[in-house]
Amino acid sequence: MRLKDKVALITGAGSGIGRESALLFAKEGAKVVVADVSENGGEETVALIKKNDGDAAFIQANVANPAEVKAMVGFAEKTFGKLNVLFNNAGIFHDQDDSVTTTEESVWDFVMNINLKGVYLGCQYGIPALLRAGGGSIINTASFVAIMGAAAPQIAYTASKGGVLAMTREIAVEFARKNIRANALCPGPVETPLLAKLLSDPARRQRRLVHIPIGRFARATEIANAALFLASDESSYVTGSTFIVDGGITSAYITPE
């Protein structure tokens, strides 16, 4: 088991990449703290883990709320005694996120609060817990759009993920000699409920799909496998990395035939 004796906290674990990662981490021996703003989704994830004889506990948390993030980390330590893996995965995409010239300030602020401030708060309160455990692994979900422009305008989302990428690098450098690794996981488009809602318009969906050399969107389990590597001791010499899992998007100059 690749995560035996480790305690992992995963935000946004009530669905999508977070849920698949929680299930996989538990299967690999971790005790998992499932954090999500959705009580139903979070409890469902815990139930699925326990159904497979894993160990997990749920706490409801809004990652943009400092008090709730602090409580979330405290819950992990109180419930399982320590924290070894912090996966800041929670994120949102607002359907009114568009061009920089048209996106409302309220949309910008909402996206930044969840996607960027949420990661900042997770690290602010999570790193002391990792230090108390003797070190550990931080995984922050960024995106391929942190590296290149999006196919369609989405200024707040793209900027927020760029911020996550830069912040992760700085954290990695600061804490490298304290036995803490930090890496930015950069998925391409993933078949999750979030993407399904966003790309319910077939034309909008195809506009993105055409840029993926592999020819399909990622499965959440494929991103979870990448997160597992970063969480495990197999990646002990990997820190400050831009860990891209995008089906070749960032390598493509033109759309393949």
Q: What is the pLDDT of residues 43-58, one digit of tens each?
A: 999 999 999 999 999 9
Tell me the mean pLDDT in the region 13-29.
97
Catalytic positions, written as ranges: 157
| Superfamily per CATH, domain 7-243 | NAD(P)-binding Rossmann-like Domain (3.40.50.720)
Q: What is the pLDDT of residues 132-185, one digit of tens each?
A: 999 999 999 999 999 998 878 899 999 999 999 999 999 999 999 999 999 999
- Distance, in Å, from the CA atom of 186 to the CA atom of 165, rounded to the nearest integer, reads 9
Top pLDDT among 166 and 189 is at: 166
Q: What is the pLDDT of residues 73-89, one digit of tens each?
A: 999 999 999 999 999 99
**Amino acid identity, position 225:** N
Burial class (CB in 10 A: 0-12, 13-18, 19+), 203: exposed
Domain assignments of the chain as residue spans, ordered by start: 7-243
- Distance, in Å, from the CA atom of 177 to the CA atom of 17, rounded to the nearest integer, reads 30
69 contacts 129 by C-beta, under 8 angstroms: no
- Distance, in Å, from the CA atom of 243 to the CA atom of 245, rounded to the nearest integer, reads 7
Q: How confident is the model at residue 228 (pLDDT cuts 50, 70, 90)?
A: very high
- Give the pLDDT of residue 255: 54
Helices 105-112 and 155-175: angle between axes, nearest 10 degrees: 30
